[in-house]
Copies of this chain bind each other. A is one copy, B any other.
Amino acid sequence: MRDEIVVTYRIETTGSVETLAEKIASDQSTGTFTPLPGETPALKARVGARVLGVRDLGTTAEAGFGREAAGSDEPYRVGEADIAYPIEAVGVDLAALMTIAINGVYAIKGFTGIRVTGLALPSAFGTRYPGPQFGTEGTFALTGVPRDRPIIGTIVKPALGLRPDESAAMIRELAEAGVDFVKDDEKLMSPAYSSLEARVKAVMPAILDHEQRTGKKVMMAFGITAADPDEMMRNHDIVLAAGGNAAVVNINSIGMGAMLFLRKRSGLALHAHRNGWDILTRHPALGLDFSVYETIWRLLGVDQFQINGISAKYWESDASFARSYAALQRPLPPLAERPLPVVCSGQWGGQAPETIRVTGGSTDLLYLCGGGVVSHPGGPGAGVRAVRQAWEAARAGIPLETYAREHPELAASLAKFGPAPAPAEGPAPTESITR
């Protein structure tokens, strides 16, 4: 039996879903636009892709895209196809996998929609690629946070413009307030007014001094992203040499190869910001699902994965966030670690009750608030305390408004950012998580 990769595609077309599935299998392995003399049955049996099955998903009234393929009055048929690619053809290389089974399909003619919705890999990929070095378990261990609450984190704001000593002053205050994790905004890398080197030099003493006095080492993720992997490694080394233990990496802006290059040499927990991800998923008839995307980046070594959160400031829905959380919980043997879900975007603590409902009671997450902490009326320190209070209430099942009566920082957050999104009735929205 052939060792195979199985990819699932959601296809939308005015034509036949089955025909397009067969076209994907042919175009993405041995075929081209015209029959070839060397494309023998023996060769196809060895390296050809094949359609395992097609599920009819009905019709839709609106074309996803590609009106070039759409007649005006025709219905758009939707179906999901599983296609198997032999390891013999692809090898165990993620760039080959991306090229053959994912990236290539979006060019094919005749779709009004094409989206990759599933990816099942042989365990050889998990053997070949490193996976997370400091995922969920590793990050909890490094921060010393007990497993019965989330890691509470924040972002130095304003995103751009602070000088290194201003960043350091803010981080000092956040550490005093008991924050577990701080990060540079993803937009802050190494501009002239706050070079990575100068920032590390200003900030790390605050982290280490706080550790010295309290025994608690705040995890500080510095923005080490650079287009040049050699420069990114120099940035990494600066952070590591100064006693840092984490870094923010803008994964789509550096790409797969640079991520792996960094991971192979990394001593830091790698916190992935996925800016640019939206272009790959925002249109429902185009792109790929997060479960597919995170599988690739998990293999490459992402330790902490930003996935937005309840009532995010961005376009993403709560249901989409719930699916992303569930995707990160799936095991990917033989990898030991799973990436830590980073719940973020417009968070201020008020979303804690609904978040814990989505996770089914789990607090295996980093809860990351930027403006929701930094712009707290009592200052960033009070902002951190308010978020911790919100999670205490959520874990105890106490309404935030009730808990706020004896917790003034939470009361101030509710007054400024509230009301909190009302927790929906019933158990976790498993129907959306398991789709």
Residues of A participating in the B interface, judged by any CB pair closer than 8 Å? 28-39, 43-44, 46-48, 62, 64-66, 68-69, 88-91, 93-96, 98-100, 102-104, 106-111, 129, 157-162, 166, 186-187, 189-193, 225-230, 232, 250, 252-261, 264, 273, 275-280, 282-284, 286-287, 300, 313-317, 346, 370-372, 374-375, 416-417
Contact = CB atoms under 8 A, between A and B. Distances in A.
A68 B282 CA distance: 11
A430 B35 CA distance: 36
19 contacts: A30-B161, A32-B158, A37-B374, A38-B157, A39-B158, A47-B160, A66-B315, A68-B317, A93-B190, A94-B227, A96-B189, A99-B253, A99-B275, A103-B250, A106-B282, A109-B313, A227-B300, A228-B260, A258-B261
Contact of A371 (B32, B107, B157, B278): B32
A286 B275 contact: no
Q: Which of A37, A161, A260, A374 has the most CB of B within 10 A?
A: A161
Contact of A106 (B44, B276, B284): B276
A32 B106 contact: no
Q: Which of A89, A190, A253, A300 has the most CB of B within 10 A?
A: A253
Contacts of A161: 30, 38-39, 43-44, 46-48, 89
Contacts of A109: 313-315
Given A103-B252, A189-B93, A228 B261 contact: yes
A89 B227 contact: no
A417 B30 contact: no
Given A256-B253, A256-B255, A261 B34 contact: no
Contacts of A191: 47, 88-91, 96
Kindly list the 8 A-B residue pairs having the minimum CB-CB distance in the complex, ordered from nearest.
Answer: A255-B255, A257-B258, A103-B276, A106-B278, A94-B227, A32-B371, A43-B161, A65-B283
A372 B36 CA distance: 10
B189 A315 contact: no
Nearest to A261: B229
A375 B111 CA distance: 26
Contacts of A28: 187
A105 to B, nearest CB: 9
Q: Which of A35, A64, A93, A287 has the most CB of B within 10 A?
A: A93
B34 A371 contact: yes
Given A255-B256, A256-B254, A260-B228, A108 B315 contact: yes
Nearest to A283: B65
Given A36-B374, A314-B108, A256 B227 contact: yes
A218 to B, nearest CB: 20
A69 B315 contact: yes
A308 to B, nearest CB: 8
Contacts of A257: 227-229, 232, 254-255, 257-259, 261
Contacts of A33: 313, 346, 371
Given A46-B193, A315-B68, A315-B109, A370 B32 contact: yes
A96 B108 CA distance: 32
B158 A43 contact: yes
Q: Which of A102, A103, A110, A252 has the most CB of B within 10 A?
A: A103
A69 to B, nearest CB: 7
A403 B227 CA distance: 50
Contacts of A186: 99, 104
Contacts of A111: 315
B275 A279 contact: no
A111 B31 CA distance: 39
A157 B282 contact: no
Contact of A93 (B68, B94, B227): B227
Contacts of A250: 95, 98-99, 103
B258 A193 contact: no
A396 to B, nearest CB: 27
A226 B93 contact: yes
A229 B229 CA distance: 10
Contact of A282 (B65, B93, B277): B65
Contact of A88 (B36, B93, B190, B193): B193
